Amino acid sequence: MIHLSNVSRHFRRGPDVIKALDRVTLEIQAGRFVALMGPSGSGKSTLLNILSGIDRADEGEVEVAGQRLTGLSEDELAVWRARHVGLVFQFYNLMPVLSACENVELPLLLTDLSRPERRRRAELALEVVGLMRERFEHLPGALSGGEQQRVAIARAIVTDPDLIVADEPTGDLDARSADQVLALLSELNREFEKTIVLVTHDPRALRWVQAIYHLDKGSLLEGVEATRATQAVEQTLGVPPRSAAR
Protein backbone atom coordinates (compact mmCIF):
# COMPACT_ATOMS: atom_id res chain seq x y z
CA MET A 1 0.00 0.00 0.00
CA ILE A 2 2.69 2.51 1.03
CA HIS A 3 6.25 2.18 -0.23
CA LEU A 4 8.82 4.80 0.69
CA SER A 5 12.37 4.31 -0.41
CA ASN A 6 15.22 6.52 0.81
CA VAL A 7 12.92 9.51 1.14
CA SER A 8 14.52 12.77 2.23
CA ARG A 9 12.97 16.18 2.75
CA HIS A 10 14.93 19.31 3.49
CA PHE A 11 13.73 22.74 4.53
CA ARG A 12 15.71 25.90 4.15
CA ARG A 13 15.43 28.26 7.08
CA GLY A 14 17.58 31.30 6.36
CA PRO A 15 21.11 30.09 5.69
CA ASP A 16 20.45 26.73 7.41
CA VAL A 17 19.18 23.57 5.75
CA ILE A 18 17.09 21.44 8.08
CA LYS A 19 16.78 17.73 7.33
CA ALA A 20 13.18 16.98 8.24
CA LEU A 21 13.47 13.47 6.80
CA ASP A 22 16.70 11.66 6.11
CA ARG A 23 16.62 8.64 3.78
CA VAL A 24 13.52 7.08 5.26
CA THR A 25 12.51 3.70 3.92
CA LEU A 26 9.14 2.41 4.96
CA GLU A 27 6.56 -0.11 3.82
CA ILE A 28 3.02 -0.34 5.16
CA GLN A 29 0.69 -3.06 3.97
CA ALA A 30 -2.89 -2.33 2.97
CA GLY A 31 -5.44 -2.59 5.77
CA ARG A 32 -2.98 -1.77 8.54
CA PHE A 33 -3.56 0.73 11.34
CA VAL A 34 -0.19 2.20 12.27
CA ALA A 35 1.09 5.08 14.31
CA LEU A 36 4.01 7.40 13.70
CA MET A 37 5.45 8.59 16.97
CA GLY A 38 8.36 10.67 18.03
CA PRO A 39 9.30 13.93 19.69
CA SER A 40 8.37 17.31 18.22
CA GLY A 41 10.43 18.07 15.11
CA SER A 42 11.22 14.42 14.51
CA GLY A 43 9.64 14.51 11.05
CA LYS A 44 6.36 12.69 11.76
CA SER A 45 4.10 15.25 10.13
CA THR A 46 6.50 15.71 7.22
CA LEU A 47 6.43 11.96 6.60
CA LEU A 48 2.63 11.95 6.87
CA ASN A 49 2.41 14.84 4.39
CA ILE A 50 4.66 13.04 1.91
CA LEU A 51 2.82 9.74 2.02
CA SER A 52 -0.54 11.51 1.72
CA GLY A 53 0.60 13.52 -1.32
CA ILE A 54 0.42 16.87 0.46
CA ASP A 55 4.17 17.43 0.26
CA ARG A 56 6.82 16.14 -2.09
CA ALA A 57 10.07 14.44 -1.24
CA ASP A 58 13.31 16.04 -2.31
CA GLU A 59 14.89 12.65 -2.80
CA GLY A 60 13.72 9.07 -2.89
CA GLU A 61 10.70 7.26 -4.22
CA VAL A 62 7.14 7.39 -2.91
CA GLU A 63 4.44 5.03 -4.10
CA VAL A 64 1.03 4.95 -2.46
CA ALA A 65 -2.03 2.96 -3.50
CA GLY A 66 -0.29 1.93 -6.69
CA GLN A 67 0.53 5.49 -7.70
CA ARG A 68 4.06 6.79 -7.92
CA LEU A 69 3.77 10.24 -6.34
CA THR A 70 7.26 11.42 -7.20
CA GLY A 71 7.04 13.82 -10.10
CA LEU A 72 3.32 14.56 -9.92
CA SER A 73 2.40 18.24 -10.17
CA GLU A 74 0.54 20.13 -7.44
CA ASP A 75 -2.78 19.77 -9.29
CA GLU A 76 -2.17 16.09 -10.13
CA LEU A 77 -1.47 15.44 -6.46
CA ALA A 78 -4.67 17.28 -5.53
CA VAL A 79 -6.72 15.06 -7.84
CA TRP A 80 -4.99 11.96 -6.49
CA ARG A 81 -5.59 13.01 -2.85
CA ALA A 82 -9.25 13.66 -3.53
CA ARG A 83 -9.65 10.07 -4.76
CA HIS A 84 -7.34 8.11 -2.50
CA VAL A 85 -6.71 9.92 0.79
CA GLY A 86 -8.88 10.92 3.71
CA LEU A 87 -7.40 13.53 6.03
CA VAL A 88 -8.05 14.12 9.72
CA PHE A 89 -6.44 17.12 11.41
CA GLN A 90 -5.77 17.90 15.05
CA PHE A 91 -8.00 20.97 15.08
CA TYR A 92 -10.73 19.34 12.93
CA ASN A 93 -10.58 22.19 10.38
CA LEU A 94 -14.26 22.17 9.65
CA MET A 95 -15.76 25.04 7.73
CA PRO A 96 -17.53 27.11 10.39
CA VAL A 97 -20.17 28.35 7.94
CA LEU A 98 -21.25 24.86 6.89
CA SER A 99 -23.31 22.40 8.89
CA ALA A 100 -21.84 19.08 10.00
CA CYS A 101 -23.46 17.32 7.06
CA GLU A 102 -22.34 19.97 4.58
CA ASN A 103 -18.77 19.72 5.88
CA VAL A 104 -18.81 16.01 5.20
CA GLU A 105 -20.27 16.66 1.75
CA LEU A 106 -17.43 19.03 0.89
CA PRO A 107 -14.97 16.47 -0.64
CA LEU A 108 -17.84 15.04 -2.69
CA LEU A 109 -18.07 18.35 -4.57
CA LEU A 110 -15.00 17.11 -6.43
CA THR A 111 -16.87 14.07 -7.71
CA ASP A 112 -19.55 13.67 -10.37
CA LEU A 113 -22.15 12.56 -7.84
CA SER A 114 -25.57 14.17 -7.92
CA ARG A 115 -26.60 16.49 -5.11
CA PRO A 116 -29.00 13.97 -3.47
CA GLU A 117 -26.37 11.24 -3.71
CA ARG A 118 -23.76 13.49 -2.12
CA ARG A 119 -26.18 14.23 0.67
CA ARG A 120 -27.01 10.55 1.14
CA ARG A 121 -23.35 9.56 1.36
CA ALA A 122 -22.56 12.39 3.79
CA GLU A 123 -25.37 11.27 6.09
CA LEU A 124 -24.20 7.67 5.84
CA ALA A 125 -20.65 8.70 6.79
CA LEU A 126 -21.97 10.65 9.78
CA GLU A 127 -23.96 7.59 10.85
CA VAL A 128 -20.83 5.44 10.55
CA VAL A 129 -18.89 7.74 12.87
CA GLY A 130 -21.80 7.74 15.30
CA LEU A 131 -22.86 11.38 15.23
CA MET A 132 -26.43 11.76 16.42
CA ARG A 133 -28.79 12.59 13.58
CA GLU A 134 -30.14 15.68 15.30
CA ARG A 135 -26.60 17.08 15.15
CA PHE A 136 -26.32 16.76 11.38
CA GLU A 137 -27.48 20.30 10.70
CA HIS A 138 -25.55 21.91 13.52
CA LEU A 139 -22.72 24.27 12.72
CA PRO A 140 -19.32 23.11 14.02
CA GLY A 141 -19.37 25.81 16.68
CA ALA A 142 -22.39 24.11 18.25
CA LEU A 143 -20.63 20.74 18.49
CA SER A 144 -18.25 19.45 21.15
CA GLY A 145 -14.61 18.75 20.31
CA GLY A 146 -15.28 15.02 20.11
CA GLU A 147 -18.27 15.53 17.85
CA GLN A 148 -16.30 17.86 15.60
CA GLN A 149 -13.57 15.25 15.27
CA ARG A 150 -16.19 12.66 14.37
CA VAL A 151 -17.43 14.99 11.64
CA ALA A 152 -13.84 15.43 10.45
CA ILE A 153 -13.42 11.65 10.33
CA ALA A 154 -16.70 11.32 8.46
CA ARG A 155 -15.36 13.87 5.96
CA ALA A 156 -12.21 11.78 5.62
CA ILE A 157 -14.07 8.55 4.86
CA VAL A 158 -16.95 9.90 2.77
CA THR A 159 -15.05 9.46 -0.51
CA ASP A 160 -14.19 5.88 0.48
CA PRO A 161 -10.42 6.50 0.26
CA ASP A 162 -7.76 3.79 0.29
CA LEU A 163 -5.77 5.60 2.94
CA ILE A 164 -6.76 7.65 5.96
CA VAL A 165 -4.08 9.84 7.51
CA ALA A 166 -4.68 11.51 10.84
CA ASP A 167 -2.34 14.13 12.25
CA GLU A 168 -2.71 14.27 16.05
CA PRO A 169 -6.47 13.58 15.90
CA THR A 170 -6.69 13.32 19.70
CA GLY A 171 -4.38 16.23 20.44
CA ASP A 172 -7.19 18.66 21.21
CA LEU A 173 -9.56 16.25 22.94
CA ASP A 174 -10.20 15.19 26.52
CA ALA A 175 -9.28 11.60 27.50
CA ARG A 176 -12.77 10.17 26.94
CA SER A 177 -13.23 11.79 23.55
CA ALA A 178 -9.69 10.79 22.55
CA ASP A 179 -10.45 7.13 23.36
CA GLN A 180 -13.68 7.31 21.38
CA VAL A 181 -11.89 8.77 18.35
CA LEU A 182 -9.17 6.11 18.49
CA ALA A 183 -11.80 3.40 18.86
CA LEU A 184 -13.62 4.81 15.86
CA LEU A 185 -10.47 4.81 13.73
CA SER A 186 -9.77 1.25 14.84
CA GLU A 187 -13.30 0.25 13.89
CA LEU A 188 -12.92 1.82 10.45
CA ASN A 189 -9.74 -0.17 10.04
CA ARG A 190 -11.36 -3.43 11.12
CA GLU A 191 -14.81 -3.09 9.58
CA PHE A 192 -13.90 -1.31 6.35
CA GLU A 193 -10.30 -2.47 6.04
CA LYS A 194 -9.03 1.07 5.71
CA THR A 195 -5.30 1.67 5.88
CA ILE A 196 -4.81 4.25 8.58
CA VAL A 197 -1.63 6.13 9.41
CA LEU A 198 -1.79 8.10 12.60
CA VAL A 199 0.67 10.71 13.83
CA THR A 200 0.36 11.07 17.55
CA HIS A 201 2.02 11.86 20.82
CA ASP A 202 -0.80 10.10 22.64
CA PRO A 203 0.38 6.85 24.30
CA ARG A 204 -3.24 5.62 24.36
CA ALA A 205 -2.92 5.03 20.62
CA LEU A 206 -0.77 2.02 21.48
CA ARG A 207 -3.89 0.16 22.58
CA TRP A 208 -5.49 0.50 19.13
CA VAL A 209 -2.76 0.47 16.50
CA GLN A 210 -1.19 -2.62 15.03
CA ALA A 211 2.28 -1.14 14.67
CA ILE A 212 4.26 1.89 15.75
CA TYR A 213 6.98 3.59 13.76
CA HIS A 214 9.29 5.84 15.74
CA LEU A 215 11.00 8.80 14.21
CA ASP A 216 13.80 10.84 15.67
CA LYS A 217 15.63 13.72 14.01
CA GLY A 218 14.20 12.77 10.63
CA SER A 219 15.22 9.12 10.78
CA LEU A 220 13.13 6.03 11.33
CA LEU A 221 14.29 4.15 14.41
CA GLU A 222 14.99 0.48 13.86
CA GLY A 223 15.92 -2.58 15.89
CA VAL A 224 16.77 -2.06 19.55
CA GLU A 225 16.15 1.68 19.43
CA ALA A 226 12.64 1.16 18.08
CA THR A 227 11.89 -1.51 20.69
CA ARG A 228 13.10 0.74 23.50
CA ALA A 229 10.99 3.63 22.24
CA THR A 230 7.90 1.42 22.13
CA GLN A 231 8.60 0.06 25.60
CA ALA A 232 8.88 3.62 26.88
CA VAL A 233 5.44 4.35 25.54
CA GLU A 234 4.07 1.13 27.04
CA GLN A 235 5.51 2.03 30.41
CA THR A 236 3.68 5.34 30.23
CA LEU A 237 0.47 3.37 29.86
CA GLY A 238 1.48 0.71 32.40
CA VAL A 239 0.97 -2.17 29.98
CA PRO A 240 3.18 -5.27 29.53
CA PRO A 241 5.99 -4.73 26.97
CA ARG A 242 5.56 -5.82 23.33
CA SER A 243 7.60 -5.36 20.21
CA ALA A 244 7.73 -2.27 18.03
CA ALA A 245 7.15 -2.52 14.30
CA ARG A 246 10.90 -2.44 13.87
Write out the residues near other proteins by the rule CB under 8 A. Answer: 49, 54-56, 74-75, 77-83, 85, 87, 89-91, 93, 95-98, 102, 105-107, 109-110, 115, 118-119, 155, 167
DSSP secondary structure code for residue 155 in this structure: H
DSSP secondary structure code for residue 69 in this structure: -
- Which residue, 91, 83, 95, is CA-closest to 158? 83
Nearest 5°: the CA angle 166, 180, 214 is: 40
CB 10 within 8 A of CB 58: yes
Nearer to other proteins, 93 or 236 (CB): 93
Nearer to other proteins, 38 or 107 (CB): 107
Smallest gap from residue 60 Cβ to other proteins (A): 16
Smallest gap from residue 77 Cβ to other proteins (A): 8
Rounded Cα–Cα distance for residues 181 and 149 (Å): 7
Rounded Cα–Cα distance for residues 118 and 98 (Å): 15
Smallest gap from residue 195 Cβ to other proteins (A): 18
Smallest gap from residue 80 Cβ to other proteins (A): 8
Nearer to other proteins, 1 or 54 (CB): 54
Smallest gap from residue 131 Cβ to other proteins (A): 17
Nearer to other proteins, 138 or 228 (CB): 138
**Run of H or E including 36:** strand 33-37
Nearer to other proteins, 84 or 214 (CB): 84
Rounded Cα–Cα distance for residues 227 and 77 (Å): 35
Give the gyration radius of the chain's Cα atoms. 18
Nearer to other proteins, 25 or 93 (CB): 93
Nearest 5°: the CA angle 4, 7, 8 is: 160
> Which amino acid is residue 16, in one-letter code?
D
Smallest gap from residue 99 Cβ to other proteins (A): 8
